Amino acid sequence: MKPKLLIIELWGIGDLVIATPFVRKASEHFDVTLLAKPFALEMQPRFWPGVQVIPFTAPWTAFKKKYDLLKWPWKKVMRVWRHLYNEQFDVGLSARWDPRDHFLLKLSGARARLGFPRTGSSMFLTHPMTLSSPLSHRYENWRLMGTELKLNPEPLSSLSFPRKFPSSTIMIHTGAAQSIRVWPLENYRKIAVKLRALGHDVRILCNPDQVDWWKNFGEPNPSCPASITELLDLLDHSAVFIGNDSGPGHVAAFCGLPTFTVFGPQLAEWFIPMHPASESFEGKPCPYKPCSDYCRYDTPHCLTGLTEEEVWPRIRRFVEKNVTHQKPLAMAGARESRLV
């Protein structure tokens, strides 16, 4: 019988994708349980078959008023705690340097508890670990966990993500979980126009609050996937992904798509999607970077100050390297005229 392992990753879709190579490797040696947000249930069949998912939206992961304790769903919190404790895990871990995760590991009763301590949270861990270089990709934290567990994890440079279906469609996704990560839509519109003028098939994905904007500018059918399953189906039939620093970009890389990410408040070194052909463009300098999802200014100048003219040459080279098929130019010109 395999020993039981609890993995805690309570944040976004992209964070779960970054954890996926570790989770898969760990499942070869452990009976793995993943504590994650409910969307992990949709991801499980494709990303971690055989892994048990316990859905849990931790109240401290809310964007606003995360420490309004009177409004926390205490019954749900206690129910999850009892579930974890009753599982009697042999090992529990979190790859975040987050004392809240470490306290939860302690409450779970896991015999061995691995983590990167911060502000005294080593008291909750049996195996406190040391973080890698401050500029390392977040996958490196998971690789260190795998090394500690003697799983022989692959370095980031050796990871591969085969494409499921051949395609020549360029997917442009203009949304993100937080507005300060969104490059202005007008810039993406100009990029789409230029790519279509070169004969490429371009499809627009966006957030629900962006659909009307795209339709007003002549985009006939912008897609707004309502679930992870719908997003996966769209990405499976695409060739490359262009978009913001967001979860869908990481999912695209897992689906085998080279990605081009426009970064703003975060660092590409930490969060660039893991496909080996992925590229990124850094936003304008700011004394407060990296500032995650809380900008000190009225608008995120790191993104709003970045023009389409600056980014286009890099996107064009990226597409030339990774997309081989083009539509006939006559067809592309007809499509372009609706977007000008």
Predicted pLDDT of residue 334: 44
pLDDT of residue 123: 96
**How far is the C-alpha of 337 from the C-alpha of 293, rounded, in Å?**
36
Give burial (CB, 10 Å; 0-12/13-18/19+) of 252: buried
In tens, the pLDDT along 165-192 reads 889 999 999 999 888 899 999 999 999 9
Q: What is the mean pLDDT of residues 51-66?
A: 86
> Which tens digit of pLDDT belongs to each residue from 191-206?
999 999 999 999 999 9
Q: Percentage of the chain with pLDDT > 90?
A: 76
Has residue 69 got a pLDDT over 60? yes
- CA proximity to 293, closest of 138, 208, 179, 207: 179
Superfamily of domain 4-158 in the CATH hierarchy: Glycogen Phosphorylase B; (3.40.50.2000)
Mean pLDDT of the chain: 91
What local confidence, expressed as pLDDT, does residue 186 receive?
Answer: 97
- Residue pLDDT, tens place only, 84-134: 999 999 999 999 999 999 999 999 999 999 999 999 999 999 999 999 888
Average pLDDT over residues 299-304: 89
Mean pLDDT of 209-214: 95
**CATH class, 169-337 region:** alpha beta
pLDDT of residue 337: 40
Residue 252 has pLDDT above 60, yes or no: yes
User: Looking at the predicted structure, is the pLDDT value of residue 310 above 80?
Assistant: yes
Give pLDDT tens digits for 218-251: 998 899 999 999 999 999 999 999 999 999 999 9
Measured CA to CA, the distance from residue 102 to residue 93 in angstroms comes to: 8
Do the beta carbons of residue 147 and residue 139 sit within 8 Å? no
Q: What is the pLDDT of residue 327?
A: 57
**Which pTM was predicted?**
0.91
Residues 6+ apart with CB under 8 A from 192: 172, 202, 204, 219, 339
Q: Is the pLDDT of residue 330 over 60?
A: no
The residue ranges of every structural domain in the chain are 4-158, 169-337
CA distance 96 to 220: 42
Examine the pLDDT at 164 and tell me if it is beyond 90: no
